[in-house]
Amino acid sequence: MKLLRYGAVGAEKPAMIDEAGQMRDLSAHIGDITGGTLDDATLAKLRALDPSALPLVEGNPRIGACVGDIGKFLCIGLNYSDHAAETGADIPEHPILFFKANSAVVGPNDDVMMPRGSMATDWEVELGVVIGKTAKYISKAEALDYVAGYCVVNDVSERHFQTQLTGQWTKGKSCDTFGPTGPWLVTRDEVGDPQNLAMSLDVNGKRMQTGNTSTMIFTVAEIIEHLSGLFTLHPGDVITTGTPPGVGMGMKPEPVYLKEGDVMELTIEGLGQQRQKVGQDA
């Protein structure tokens, strides 16, 4: 099942994608797609609906982030062996964790705005994991049962802010618009194995990133086990799980960063596509 949210910022409505790829409104059945509606029982009720009986969403509305009112936005760094190699970093012993501010979250096709003073805004296609039920001290063997679904995330990063402004990576990860999420929340039953998904990112039509979630250092299940042993994961929390090689900071002989007018296009197998135009904050 593919769930999404559409409409103006702050007024998004819930919908699902039918077999023909059309949007069907879910407003008569749930108020929104949030942590409060991601439990297995609610998803089962939505799955049992006949999509053809739901109102068709006409036109080409804006698509919002596929989860509303995100609780925690948790990010895992250097989680692909080939990406760690391109940045010259050691393979981490444990998952590297940082946070992205919820104010960074935007829709999958909204503009990405480089902040004032940006010198090195970069791209990162990532598999997003959306938690569906409360998880604490969860074992790797049961971890995927706590996942509501998966989505595409662009972990946009300002590398100068991230590495040169003394402090945590969060500084370079949390700028406004730096968290495009969606288009769809694809429920775990439809995704199957999250460790075998092809992924790519193009800038201005040129392929920059090509990868597969099979090269993750820490699997989705291992990440959930680790994080839930540190703090409680709640429904509606999003975990973005790292990026494959091909980011701008890893380009040789010199890094390549985004500029105003560039267009990023991202895709993960079965999870849909994103497209963002890059702008500049005034």
Residue type, position 238, single letter: V
pTM as predicted:
0.96
Percentage with pLDDT > 90 across the chain? 89
The string of pLDDT tens digits covering residues 149-197 is: 999 999 999 998 988 888 788 899 999 999 999 999 999 999 999 999 9
221 and 103 in a common domain = yes
Residue 64 lies in a domain: no
28 and 80 in a common domain = no
Q: 197: domain range?
A: 73-280
Of the candidate ranges 82-86, 106-110, 115-119, 172-176, the one whose mean pLDDT is the lowest: 82-86
The string of pLDDT tens digits covering residues 244-281 is: 999 999 999 999 999 999 999 999 999 999 999 999 99
The string of pLDDT tens digits covering residues 134-152 is: 999 999 999 999 999 999 9
Question: Taking 80 as the threshold, does the pLDDT of residue 83 lie above it?
Answer: no
114 and 16 in a common domain = no
122 and 159 in a common domain = yes
Q: What is the CATH number of the domain that holds 214?
A: 3.90.850.10
Residue 60 lies in a domain: no
Residue 10 lies in a domain: yes
Residue 226 lies in a domain: yes
> Long-range CB contacts (< 8 A, 24+ apart) of 135-142?
135/224, 135/228, 135/232, 135/233, 136/228, 136/231, 136/232, 136/233, 137/228, 137/229, 138/224, 138/225, 138/228, 138/229, 138/233, 139/225, 140/219, 140/221, 140/222, 140/224, 140/225, 141/221
272 and 191 in a common domain = yes
Give the total number of structural domains in the chain: 2
The string of pLDDT tens digits covering residues 46-77 is: 999 999 999 999 999 999 999 999 999 999 99
Question: Taking 90 as the threshold, does the pLDDT of residue 87 lie above it?
Answer: no
Residue type, position 260, single letter: E
Q: How confident is the model at residue 90 (pLDDT cuts 50, 70, 90)?
A: confident
Percentage with pLDDT > 70 across the chain? 100
Q: Determine the average pLDDT of the residues in 2-23.
A: 97
Q: What is the residue-averaged pLDDT of the chain?
A: 95
Residue 216 lies in a domain: yes
Helix ranges, 209-257 (H): 220-228
115 and 49 in a common domain = no
